[in-house]
A and B are shown apart, each in its own frame.
Chain A
Amino acid sequence: MRATRWLLAYLAAVVAVTFIHAPWLLAALLVLALAASGAGRWRIARRAVLAVLTFNLTVSLGYAAVSLWQGNFSVVYLLLVNLRVLLMVYLGFWFVARVNLLEAVRFSPTLGFVVTLAAGQIEAFARALRDFRLAFASRNAAAPALSARARHAAAQAGHLLDKSVCMAAETALAMRSRGAFDDYAGLPSPACVRGPGGEVGPVWRPRRPGVVTAYKKP
């Protein structure tokens, strides 16, 4: 229950942060969160900064370009957006580092499935990414050109996309095979098929059109 309370506290904190419009208050909360998160604070902070860096830079540069062109650039707004995103991501990483997510969602088996699947996917993707990074380092006797880096990034993205699609399809099939989807809800009860000699054959369940199952009508 303790983990569930942390989950609720985290969700409440994230919602509360969206209602704060003063950058100084967000900065103070960020400092407070840093102070409260103990020995691992700099590791969490580093992860949070790395996670938001590309997104925040792109959005900030886009905002700066458009607002300067329109003549309504505001440093306060820029700070507000960046601090808010950073604080929310920091809270997320802090929560994950502190609380066992599976424990936190124990009240809901469905959420448990989702968290388990997500954790499995994250682990598989982290390994694939690490292999891509090391393989690229291994194949470069000299510093790679920017074009080679770009090609490598594109190949990596393509591979991960393929992998995620394959994994999603495989996971869905595996879940269906283990009965996670109720394909037969509202349909007639299973019927036993009898052979010509009266012997009981395999159980046949009628299928909804378009639903792929392991059962086949004998």
Chain B
Amino acid sequence: MIELNGIRYAWPDAPTVLDGVSLSVREGEKLVLLGANGSGKSTLLKLMNGLIAPQTGSYSYCGEAVTPARLKQGAFARRFRSEVVLLFQHPEAMLFNPTVRDEIAYGPRQLGLPDAVARAEHWAAALGLAPLLDAQPFSLSGGQKQKLALAAILALEPRLLLLDEPVASLDPRASGWLVDFLLDCGKTVVTSTHNLSMASELGERAFVLGEGGRLLFDGPLQDALRDRALLEAANLVHRHRHRHGGDTHAYMHAHTHSHDWESSR
């Protein structure tokens, strides 16, 4: 579905963020993009969404090259923008309509779909925003804004969802809901996170980005989570002291997820 080859990218007046990144995403996969802060996760997602173009390397979507010139061609841009959507890390950046209903209906309306309002109401209900349909997006809480931004992109019924740290501003209940939703939605999903305790819930395959913007790992997520040297190189685990009663000791913490309440039964 997606092919990236030898991607290099640097923001203006800044060091290289992505360096020689090559990867592919197949239809229906649930992928987790792991990396420490500043490793280039957000930049890679923006690149996959065609918002920025790599300085070197190539990017193709369903066999078609994605370039600034191609994205200026109406038909391709229309198809690409409705099939590949990105949930930004800070959802405020995505919200600009007067009501929640208009915000969700914006994309479908732009595509001229006759059922834009029905889609808005459906996705608002699915994400628990139905009582807020007439509210102003900027009056919502952080978690509600995140859900609204997600509803706005889901209303397009995309094929590929790119999610940038989607659980960062959600409370535990909303995070749990999002995990369940992503597993059941039947779409191709790439989720970025540096939270290893959530990672194992978000997909089966992992890309691990190192601090120099290089791809350190591409393979089964569980293998990545077990590879301490890899996690250490990616700055995803750290050594710190722990106290158990009167005993203090220090070791690496990977913070992988375990169901404490189940294991204690």
Interface string of B52-82 (1 = CB under 8 A from A): 1000000000000000000000100110011
**Residue numbers in A under 8 Å from B85 (CB-CB):** 138
Selected from A128, A141, A152, A156, the residue in CB contact (under 8 A) with B107 is A141
B46, A141: Cβ atoms closer than 8 Å = no
Selected from A131, A152, A154, A158, the residue in CB contact (under 8 A) with B88 is A131
**Residue numbers in A under 8 Å from B152 (CB-CB):** 139
B71 to chain A: closest residue by CB: A137
Chain B interface size range: 20 to 34
Q: How far is the CA of A151 from the CA of B110 in the complex (A)?
A: 15
Is B23 an interface residue, CB under 8 A from the partner?
A: no
Which residues from 73 to 121 on chain B have a C-beta closer than 8 Å to any C-beta of chain A? 74, 77-78, 81-82, 85-86, 88, 90, 92-98, 106-107, 110-111
| Closest beta carbon of chain A to B111's beta carbon, Å | 6
Is A208 an interface residue, CB under 8 A from the partner?
A: no
Interface string of A117-138 (1 = CB under 8 A from B): 0000000000010011011111
Question: Given A134-B46, A134-B51, A135-B88, do A141 and B81 touch, yes or no (CB 8 Å)?
Answer: yes
A144, A156, A159 interface centre (most CB from chain B within 10 Å): A159
Is B49 an interface residue, CB under 8 A from the partner?
A: yes
Selected from B51, B77, B94, B98, the residue in CB contact (under 8 A) with A151 is B98
**Residue numbers in B under 8 Å from A191 (CB-CB):** none
A144, B110: Cβ atoms closer than 8 Å = yes
Size of the A side of the interface (Cβ < 8 Å), in residues, is: 21
A136, A137, A140 interface centre (most CB from chain B within 10 Å): A137
**Residue numbers in A under 8 Å from B51 (CB-CB):** 134, 137-138
Is A148 an interface residue, CB under 8 A from the partner?
A: yes
B11 to chain A: closest residue by CB: A130
Selected from B77, B94, B97, B107, the residue in CB contact (under 8 A) with A135 is B94
Is A35 an interface residue, CB under 8 A from the partner?
A: no
Q: How far is the CA of A29 from the CA of B167 in the complex (A)?
A: 55
B93, A141: Cβ atoms closer than 8 Å = no
Is B138 an interface residue, CB under 8 A from the partner?
A: yes
Which residues from 48 to 79 on chain A have a C-beta closer than 8 Å to any C-beta of chain B? none
Interface string of B148-160 (1 = CB under 8 A from A): 0000110010000
Selected from A134, A140, A158, A159, the residue in CB contact (under 8 A) with B81 is A140
B94, A139: Cβ atoms closer than 8 Å = yes
Q: How far is the CA of A144 from the CA of B77 in the complex (A)?
A: 13
**Residue numbers in B under 8 Å from A142 (CB-CB):** 74, 77-78, 110-111
A141, B106: Cβ atoms closer than 8 Å = no
B93, A128: Cβ atoms closer than 8 Å = yes
A138, B95: Cβ atoms closer than 8 Å = no
Question: Given A141-B81, A142-B74, do A155 and B95 touch, yes or no (CB 8 Å)?
Answer: yes
| Closest beta carbon of chain A to B35's beta carbon, Å | 18
Interface string of A90-115 (1 = CB under 8 A from B): 00000000000000000000000000
Selected from B96, B98, B111, the residue in CB contact (under 8 A) with A136 is B96
Question: Given A140-B110, A141-B81, do A131 and B93 touch, yes or no (CB 8 Å)?
Answer: yes
| Closest beta carbon of chain A to B168's beta carbon, Å | 14
**Residue numbers in B under 8 Å from A139 (CB-CB):** 81, 94, 106-107, 152-153
Question: Given A138-B51, A141-B107, A151-B98, do A132 and B81 touch, yes or no (CB 8 Å)?
Answer: no
Question: Given A131-B90, A158-B138, do A138 and B81 touch, yes or no (CB 8 Å)?
Answer: yes
A152, B93: Cβ atoms closer than 8 Å = no
20 contacts between A and B (CB under 8 A): A128-B93, A131-B90, A131-B93, A134-B46, A134-B52, A135-B93, A135-B94, A138-B85, A138-B88, A141-B77, A141-B107, A142-B78, A151-B96, A151-B97, A151-B98, A152-B96, A154-B96, A155-B96, A156-B96, A159-B93
Binding site for B on A (CB under 8 A): 128, 131-132, 134-142, 144, 148, 151-152, 154-156, 158-159
New A-B contacts (8) at CB < 8 Å, excluding given A135-B93, A138-B85, A141-B111: A128-B90, A128-B93, A136-B96, A141-B77, A141-B81, A141-B156, A148-B106, A151-B97
Binding site for A on B (CB under 8 A): 46, 49, 51-52, 74, 77-78, 81-82, 85-86, 88, 90, 92-98, 106-107, 110-111, 138, 152-153, 156
Closest 6 CB pairs of A and B: A155-B96, A141-B81, A135-B93, A131-B93, A152-B96, A135-B94
